[in-house]
Each structure stands twice: as structure tokens, then as C-alpha cells.
Structure 1
Amino acid sequence: MSAQLVGLFDTPIVVDELPDAAAVNAALKPLILARRSQSDGVTLSNIGGWQSDHDVADWGGEAIRHLLSHVTALADAHCVDVVSPGAARHRWANDIWVNVSPPHASNQMHTHPGAYWSAVYYVDDASDTNDGGQGGELVIEDPRMPMILMTMPNLRLRGANGGVHEPQLKMRVRTGRIIMFPSWLSHGVVPHRGTRERISIAINLLAVPLNPA
């Protein structure tokens, strides 16, 4: 066939490895476990495990500042103000919390209204091999779900690259990895099968105008 297939509305998913992750994790892990011993935490998207209050920036010290600096740099590198591409007209406000998840814990599907970027960083993926092969994948869902599957749930679109379009993407995680995505994407975490508690840090970045109208 001579038909041309054009892919529209690309959704950026940023995957990166944090420089000096081993040192950052060595500093963060005892702080996180100490905080858990002092706080009951909250229950929001987490199913099992412990989720901190959203005050990690207050007690995470230099390690959290290093992580946040790297994540905000990623955000700057992957978006542009089309009216003022050479000078930012916004700053990034942040919202940070921690998940400590024992084996078989998970996070239900959810979004982060009001934020621009969301990111998750893995302090400890709970895997003995650090290859992300023991479940616990981050699940990111096509925002057109479930509409496209209502009448024919096994019928798939074919993508511009020739591959089959799937309504969900499961992303392997590993210690030291950052995964960042637009906050309107629905996402969750399937249960992991690691032998230890998984520790991850969630970050929301909110674009705040420097000169609000």
C-alpha cells in the first residue's frame, strides 16, 4: 500500500541514571528509615508499605538537593517556552515524598493534577541482581484508555514504527534510575517480588510563572 502513516502527539518519557547514585543512596537510606520510625506516614496511592508526608525536602539534606537539582535540569532540557525560548519565565516548585514498599506492595493507578512533570527515583529496587527483573514495574497508561478497548479489547492500532500499540507500558526499574513523565499520565506500580523493601522517591514539579498576570 502507498498510504503514509504519521505518528502524532508524541508523549515524552525521560529515563536517566543519577550521577553518584551510590553515594546519594547511602546518605538517603538511613534518613528515610529513621523518618519512617518517627512517622506513621499517609495512605494515598500506596497499597501496603509506608508513604511519607510530603516534607522530604525539609529533612533529606544535601542528597535530596542533589537529586532535585538533577531532576529539574532534566525538566528544563525536555521542555521549552515557545514565546521566550532563551529566558525562562517560570520556576519549578516541587513536592517530594518517599515510598517504602515491602515485597508484594504496590501503588494503584493515579495522576498528579496541577503538576507539570512527575518523576520517580529508586534508592533501592529491592532486587538482588539490580536488573529490574523481579517485578514491580512502573506502569504508564495511555490517557485514551479504556475508550479504545471498549468494543474490541484485543484489537490494537499499528504505530508509525510498525509496532503494535499497547494501552499500557510497563517500565523496568533499578537502583539509581530516574523515570520522568508528564503528570497527566495515569501511572501505578505492580507488586515487586524482591526480597527486601523497595525505597523510591517521588517528585512533582509545578511550573510557577515568575511574573504572574
Structure 2
Amino acid sequence: MSAQLVGLFDTPIVVDDLPNAAAVNAALKPLILARRAERPGVTISNIGGWQSEHDVADWGGEPVQHLLRHVFALADAHCVDIASPGAPRHRWVTDIWVNVSPPQASNQMHTHPGAYWSAVYYVDDGSEKGDGAIGGELVIEDPRMPTVLMTMPNLRLRSANGSVHEPQLKMKVRSGRIIMFPSWLSHGVVPHQGVSDRISIAVNLAAVPRHPA
């Protein structure tokens, strides 16, 4: 066939590995576990695990600042102020917390209203070698759900690259990895089957004017 297929409205998902991740994780893990021992935590999207208050930047020290600098750089590299491309007029304001998830813990599907980018960093994926536990994928959902499955659940569209469109993307994780995505995407975590607690840090970035009007 001579038909041309054009893909529209690309949604960026950024995957990167944090520089010096082994040293950063070695410093962060005891801080996080000590905090969990001291504080009851909160329950928001977490099911069966511990979630910290949103104050990690206050006690995470240089390891957390190193992570945030890298997340800022990723965010800057993957968006542009089209009215001022050489001098962006915004700055990033962060909201940051920790999840400690024992085997079988998960996070329900949710979004982050008010944020522009959301990122998750894996301090310890819960596997024996830090190379990804079985299960526990980060699930990112097509924002058109459930509409895309309502008329014919098993009929899928073909993407511009020829692949079959799926309404959910399940992303495997591993220690030292960052996954960043637009905050309006619904996302969650399925139960992991690792041998120990999974430790992750979640970051929301809100864009605010650099200079108040």
C-alpha cells in the first residue's frame, strides 16, 4: 500500500542512569532506612509500603542534591520555552519523597496535578544484584484510557513505526535508573517479586516564572 502513516502528539518518556549511582545509593540507603525507623510516614498511592513526608530535600544532603541537579538537566533538555528558547523564563520547584516497598507492595494508578515533569529514581530495586527485580514494573497508561478499549478491546492501532499500540507501557526498573515523564500521565507500580525492600525516590517538578510579573 502507498498510504503514509503519520504519528501525532508524541509523549516523551526519558530514561537515564544517574552518574555515580553506586556511591549515591550507598549514601542514601542508610539515611532513608533511618528516616523510616523514626517516622510513621504517609499513605497516598502506596499499597503495603512506607512513603515519607515530602521533605526529602531537607535531610537527604548532597546525594539528593546531586540527583535533583541531574533531574533538572534532563527536564531542561527535553522541553523548550518557544517564546524564549535561548533564555527560559521558568524555574523548577520540586516536591520530593521516598517510597520503601517490601516484596508484593505496589502503588495504585495516579497522576500529579500541578506538576510538569514527574520522575522516579531507584536507590535499590529489591533484587539480589540490583539489575531489576521480577515484576514491579512502572506502569504508564495511555491518557485516552479507557476509551481506546471500549468498542473493541482486542483491536489495536498500528503506530507510525509499525508496532502495535498498547494502552499501557510496563517499564522494567533497576538500581541507579531514572525514569521521567509528563506529570499528566497516569502511572502506578505493580507488586515486585524481589528479595528485599525496593527503595525509590519520586520527584515532581513544577514550572514557575523565574521573575514574578
**Smaller-chain TM-score bracket:** over 0.9
Distance 2:170 2:94 in 1: 26
Distance 2:133 2:105 in 1: 16
**Superposed CA offset, 1:25-50 (max 9, x none):** 01100100110111100000000110
Give, as a single letter, the amino acid of the residue that structure 1 aligns with 2:43: T
1:163 lines up with 2:163 in the alignment = yes
Q: Does 1:10 align with 2:10?
A: yes
**How many Å apart are 1:210 and its aligned residue?**
1.6
Q: 1:27 aligns to what SS in structure 2?
A: helix
Give the equivalent residue in structure 1 for 2:144: 144
- TM-score, scaled to structure 1: 0.98
Q: Does 1:202 align with 2:190?
A: no
Quote the offset at 1:131 in angstroms: 2.8
Letter in 1 for 2:157: L
Look up the match of 1:22.
22
Does residue 187 of the first structure (1) align with residue 184 of the second (2)?
Answer: no
Letter in 1 for 2:136: G
Distance in 1 (alpha carbons) for counterparts of 2:192 and 2:176: 17
> What code does the residue aligned with 1:154 have?
N
How many angstroms does 1:126 deviate by? 0.4
1:211 matched residue in structure 2: 211
Q: Residue 35 of structure 2 corresponds to which residue in structure 1?
A: 35
Kept after mapping to 1: 8 A contact 2:120/2:179: yes
Q: Deviations over 1:106-155 (max 9, x none)?
A: 00000000000000000000011333251100000000000010121101
2 CA distance for matches of 1:153 and 1:62?
48
Give the corresponding residue for 1:115. Answer: 115
1:48 counterpart residue number = 48
Counterpart for residue 63 of structure 1: 63
| CA distance in structure 1 between the aligned counterparts of 2:133 and 2:40, rounded to whole angstroms | 30
1:158-184 Cα distance to aligned partner (Å, 9 max, x none) = 110111000000000000000000000
Cα distance in 2, alignment partners of residues 63 and 100 from structure 1: 17
Distance 1:152 1:35 in 2: 48
Cα distance in 2 between the residues matched to 1:186 and 1:9: 17
**1:78 is the counterpart of 2:83:** no
Secondary structure in 2 aligned to 1:179?
strand
Shift in CA distance, 51/31, structure 1 to aligned 2, threshold 3 Å:
same
Separation (CA, whole Å) in 1 of partners of 2:89 and 2:180: 22
SS where residue 135 of structure 2 aligns? coil
SS in 1 for 2:88: coil
CA distance in 2, matches of 1:101, 1:164: 32
Q: Separation in 2 of the partners of 1:24 and 1:131?
A: 16
Instruction: Output aligned runs, 1:89-128, within 5 Å.
Output: 89-128=89-128
* Secondary structure, aligned partner of 1:12: coil
Give the CA deviation at 1:88.
1.6
- CA-to-partner distance for each residue in 1:47-74, whole Å, 9 max, x for gaps? 0110000000000000000000000000
Q: Tell me if structure 1 keeps the 8 A contact 2:117–2:205.
A: yes
